[in-house]
Amino acid sequence: MRLSRLVLDEFRNFSHEELSPAREGVTLLRGANGQGKTNILEAISVVATLESFRGADSSAMIRQFQPSARIGAELLGERDHLVDIEVVLTSARTRAFRNGNLLKRNGDIVGEIRAVAFFPDDLDLIKAGPAVRRRFLDDGLIAISPRFGPIRSAFERAARQRARLLKQVGGHLTNDLELALDVWDDRVADTGSRLVAHRENLCGLLIEPVNDIYQRLSGESGTVSISYTRSWEGELLDALVQSRREDVRAGIPQLGPQRDDLAICLANRPARSCSSQGEQRCLALALRLGIHRVASEGGLDTVGLGPRSDFAPNGDPPILLLDDVFSELDPIRSAALAESLPAGQVFISAAGEIPSSLKPAVALTVSSGRIDR
C-alpha cells in the first residue's frame, strides 16, 4: 500500500494543506526549523499507527483555537481507498474512517500503511532508560505486522490490573488478595510470555541488518550486539509467584516484561557508556533502518506474527520517515546514508544542507504551515 495524497485540516500549524508525495523514492521536505516539516511526518505516523512518534497527546495535534483536526490519506494498492483520522478537542478522542465510514474499532485501521520513523530524539535509544528501548521493539513489531498490537494491548491491560491491585492492598497479603493475584498472575504470565517471545525473536532478526547498516554509515568494522534482557529467570508465572510477597510489600511489580531491557553493545562494550555521540547516533539510525529492512524483507513467520500475505499482499515496504536526519551527521556519514536508502517511499525533512548524492523524486518547501513545490 502506497500513500498517494495527504490532507491536513487544522492539524498542528496547518490550516488546510495537501501534498502528493513520490510513490517511489524520496520526498524531500525543505524549510527552516519550526515551519511544520516534522508535523507532516507525524501525520503519516498517525495514519499508520494511530500514535504520534513524538508521544504527543491527541489534543496537541489540533491547531490552536480549533475544535478538531483531520488527517486524510489516499492509499493505493490492490484496492485503493481513503483513510481519515479525526481528533476532537472536547474529548481528545481519535476516530478512524475508511472510505467515509466510521470504524467501530480504531485499531482496524492500523496496518493500512506501515511506517518506520527516525527522529532526533532517537539518540535516547542508546542513552536513555529501558522504557525507550522496550517501546522501540514494540513499535518495530507493529511496523512488521499490526497483529502485534492486540498482543501488546492484552499484556498492558493485565499488567495494569495487577499493578492497581498491588497498589490498593497497602502492603498486606490477605487470602482474598492471594486469590485475586492468582488470576492476574496467570493473565500477566500468558500475555507477557507471548509478548517477550516476539521481542526476543525480533532482536535475533535485527543483528545482521543492524551490523550491515552501522558499518555502512560509520565506515567502522566494530560489531554491534543486541540482546534482550529479561527481568526474571525461568517461567514468568513461577517468577511472579515467587516475587508476590515482595511485590505486595513494595506496592509495585518487581519484574515482568514492563521492566525488561535491550542491551546494545559496540565492539563488546556497552554503547550507552563507551561509545561516542557520533557512534551512538549511527547506532540509533542503524536500529531504525534495521527495523525497516526486517519489515521489508519478511521474516514474519520467525517472529511468529504470520505470513506477509496476511497483511501486505502487494509486498510494499513500510514508509520510511527520517526527520532532520542530516543535521547531526558529518558529511561522510550523510553521504553514506543517502547512498544506502532503501526502496519504497521515503520522506526526509531537512533544514540545512543535504548530500549531493541525494536525488529526491519530489522536493517540497514547508514554510509557516504552507506546503509549496
Give the per-residue pLDDT at 194: 96
Question: 3-state secondary structure string, the chain?
Answer: CEEEEEEEEEECCEEEEEECCCCCEEEEEECCCCCCHHHHHHHHHHHHHCCCCCCCCHHHHECCCCCEEEEEEEEECCCCEEEEEEEECCCCEEEEEECCEECCCHHHHCCCCCEEEECHHHHHHHHCCHHHHHHHHHHHHHHHCCCHHHHHHHHHHHHHHHHHHHHHCCCCCCHHHHHHHHHHHHHHHHHHHHHHHHHHHHHHHHHHHHHHHHHHHHCCCCCEEEEEECCCCCCHHHHHHHCHHHHHHHCCCCCCHHHCEEEEEECCEEHHHHCCHHHHHHHHHHHHHHHHHHHHHCCHHHHCCCCHHHCCCCCCCCEEEEECCCCCCCHHHHHHHHHCCCCCEEEEEECCCCCCCCCCCEEEEEECCEEEC
Give the per-residue pLDDT at 309: 37
Of 152, 133, 170, 163, the residue nearest 291 (C-alpha): 133
DSSP class of residue 354? -
Copy the grid coordinates of residue 151: 498482543
Least confident of 63-77, 97-111, 259-273: 97-111
* pLDDT range class, residue 364, cuts 50, 70, 90: very high
The size of the chain, in residues, is 373
Contact 174, 182 (CB under 8 A): no
- pLDDT of 248-277, one tens digit each? 999 999 999 999 999 999 999 999 999 999
Q: What are phi and psi of 305, to 5 degrees?
A: -110, 10
pLDDT over threshold 50, residue 75: yes
Give the end-to-end CA distance of the chain in Å, rounded to a whole number.
Answer: 24
Q: Is the pTM of this model over 0.85?
A: yes
Give the per-residue pLDDT at 174: 87
* pLDDT range class, residue 172, cuts 50, 70, 90: confident
Return the higher-pLDDT residue of 78 and 12. Answer: 12
Q: What is the mean pLDDT of the chain?
A: 91
Give the per-residue pLDDT at 310: 38
Instruction: Tell me the C-alpha distance between 283 and 198, whole Å.
Output: 22
pLDDT over threshold 70, residue 311: no
Give me the percent of the chain exceeding a pLDDT of 70. 95
Give me the percent of the chain exceeding a pLDDT of 90. 78
Give the per-residue pLDDT at 36: 97
Return the higher-pLDDT residue of 110 and 208. Answer: 208
pLDDT over threshold 90, residue 168: no
Give the per-residue pLDDT at 184: 97
- pLDDT of 79-99, one tens digit each? 789 999 999 988 878 899 999
Mean pLDDT of the 193-198 span: 96
- pLDDT of 115-167, one tens digit each? 999 998 999 999 999 999 999 999 999 999 888 989 999 999 999 999 999 99
* pLDDT range class, residue 57, cuts 50, 70, 90: confident
Give the per-residue pLDDT at 146: 83
| Number of other residues whose CB lies within 10 A of the CB of residue 337 | 23
Give the per-residue pLDDT at 304: 55
141: burial class by Cβ within 10 Å (0-12, 13-18, 19+)? Answer: buried
pLDDT over threshold 60, residue 345: yes
Mean pLDDT of the 343-359 span: 96
